[in-house]
Homo-oligomer: A and B are copies of this chain.
Amino acid sequence: MIAFRRATQSITRRAYSSCAPSATRFSINGDRLWNDIHETAKWSAPSPGGVTRLCADENDKKVRDWFRDQVLALGASYKVNATGTQFAHFEGKDNSIPPIAMGSHLDTVATGGRFDGPLGVIGGLEVLRSMKEQNVKTNAPLVLINWTNEEGARFFPLLGSSAVYAGQSSVEQAHASISTDNSALTLGSELAKIGYVGDGPNYFDEYPISAHFEIHVEQHTDLEKANKPVGWVEGWQGMTWYNVVFHGDDGHANTKPMWGRRDTLAASAKLITELENLAYEKHGYTTTTGIHSHPFGSCNIQSKTKVIFCLMHKETEGLEEMGEEIVKRIKSIAEMRGLEYDLKRDIHLLPANFWPEAVDCVKRACGDKGIGSRTGTGHDSTMTTLKVPTAMVFVRAKDGISHSAKEWSSKEDCTEGALTLGKAVLNFDELLKQKVASSAG
C-alpha cells in the first residue's frame, strides 16, 4: 500500500502580486505546440481521434525516442532512470540550485485522448524552446521530465515512477507492477523490452529538484463554466484504490441448486451495486475499474473473482467514511454468501493542497485568464508535492471529458496553458533567486 506522506520542509511564502519581469515578456509558439501534440498522436494503437499509447508498448518507445531527440537538439543533458523516467536537464545561471522541474507523462490510458498527459510534456518542451529562442535564461537550472506509468493503465499501481522518485515506492516495487489484463507481464519486463531501464537518478535524494510544475487538461468543467482558458490548481480530492478477491466453490452452472452455491461473481455484482449506492450516500464518487472472474467456461459457477475499485471524496472525513463503510459491506457480502476474501488497499491519497508559494506563481501567471480549481485525480505532481513546492496549470477541457478519444482542448487554450507554465516557472525562479539572495545577505 502506498500511504503518502508530505515532506515537512517549506520555503517561506512571499507576496508578489504580478509576474516576474522575465515572465511578462515571455511568449509561446502555439503553432509548434499544436503541431507536436497532433504529430506525436500518430504513435498510437488504432484509436480514431484519440491516443492509445500504453506504458512501455512499442508506441511509447517511439514517442520516448522522439522526446530524447528533441531535448538533445535543445542542448539538454539527458538521462533515463531505472523506472524509465526521462530527464532533460538545462543549466541555469546558478547551477548550485536544484533545477526547477516541468513534467508530466507521454503514456496514455487504453482509451486516451491527445492531451492527458502529452500536453504536460510537450507544453514543457515548448516552454524550453521558446526560452531558448527568446534568450530567456533562468537563474536556476531547469529540467523537463517524462514520468513513467502515470496512468496505471497497463500496469498497476499508477504514478509508477513519480511515486518511486518521491520515496513512496521502490524501483523493485515499480518493476513488479502487475499487468491489468491479468497476464504475466510486468512494468519491469516491458520497460526492458523497449530499452528504457536506465541508470538513474531514481530517487529525489539522488537528484533533488527545487519545484515541480505541470500543465494538464482539467478533466472537469469548472473552467468551461467560468469561460476561462486556464486555471491554477489548488489541490486534489482524496482517492483510494482497493482490490478484493472473493474465493468460493467450483460447481456446475446448470445442475447445482441455487442453495448452497458459493458464487463469487454474484457476490461481486452485489459489491459493485453497493459501490454505486455508496457514492449517493456519502456524496463522493466511486468507480469499479476492473473485474476478472474465473474459471473461464460456459458451465461453471464462478469460484474466484477479483474486483478493482476506487473511492473519491473531496473531504478527508468523507473518504475515510467511504473506506470504512465499503470494508464493512465486503465483509457482510462474504458472510452472507459463505465466501472467503482477500482485501487490499493499494493506494490511499488524502485530499490536500499544493504548496501555496508554487500555486501563487501559477496564479500570478494566469492573471485574469484563470480561476482557481481543484483536480479530481492523482498526477505526477501529487507525488512531487510530497517533496518540493509543486503546482499545476489547468487547461479548459471540452465538456470535461477525459480518458476518452473525445478529450479536447483548443489550440488557443493549450497555448495559454504553456504560456502560463512558462511564466509560473519564471515566477518561481525569481522567488528562488530572492531566497538565495536573502540567505546570502
Contact = CB atoms under 8 A, between A and B. Distances in A.
Interface stretch (A11-19, A69-77, A271-279): A271-279
Contact of A255 (B153, B276, B280, B376): B376
A276 B285 contact: no
Contact of A403 (B181, B253, B285, B312): B253
A302 B288 contact: yes
Interface in A103-143: 109-111
A193 to B, nearest CB: 18
B273 A111 contact: no
A63 to B, nearest CB: 18
A189 B419 CA distance: 56
A266 B272 CA distance: 6
Given A255-B376, A276-B266, A298 B241 contact: yes
Contacts of A298: 151-153, 156-158, 180, 241, 289-290, 308, 310
A101 interface: no
A294 B111 CA distance: 10
Contacts of A406: 250
Contacts of A250: 111, 403-406
Interface stretch (A1-9, A164-172, A257-265, A358-366): A257-265
Given A288-B265, A297-B109, A297-B180, A402 B255 contact: yes
Contact of A299 (B153, B237, B258): B153
Contacts of A237: 254
Contact of A310 (B254, B375, B404): B254
A205 to B, nearest CB: 28
A393 B389 CA distance: 77
A98 interface: no
A312 B261 CA distance: 15
Copy count, this protein chain: 2
A303 interface: yes
Contacts of A173: none
A220 interface: yes
B254 A109 contact: no
A257 B270 CA distance: 22
A contact face: mostly helix, strand, loop, or mixed = loop
Contacts of A10: none
A291 interface: yes
Interface in A334-360: none
Contacts of A256: 219, 285, 287, 400, 402
Nearest to A287: B253
A252 interface: yes
A316 interface: no
A301 interface: yes
A233 B271 CA distance: 40
A210 interface: no
Contact of A289 (B257, B291, B297): B297
B265 A377 contact: no
A308 B303 CA distance: 15
A234 to B, nearest CB: 15
A111 B295 contact: yes
| Nearest 3 pairs of A and B residues by beta carbon | A269-B272, A255-B376, A110-B295
Given A111-B295, A289-B302, 5 more contacts: A109-B299, A152-B298, A254-B378, A256-B402, A266-B273
15 contacts: A110-B296, A110-B300, A153-B296, A153-B299, A180-B297, A219-B256, A252-B402, A253-B403, A254-B285, A256-B400, A269-B276, A270-B273, A288-B302, A290-B302, A300-B403
Interface of A: 109-111, 151-154, 156-158, 180-181, 219-220, 237, 239, 241, 249-258, 263, 265-266, 268-273, 276, 279-280, 285-291, 293-303, 308, 310, 312, 375-378, 400-406
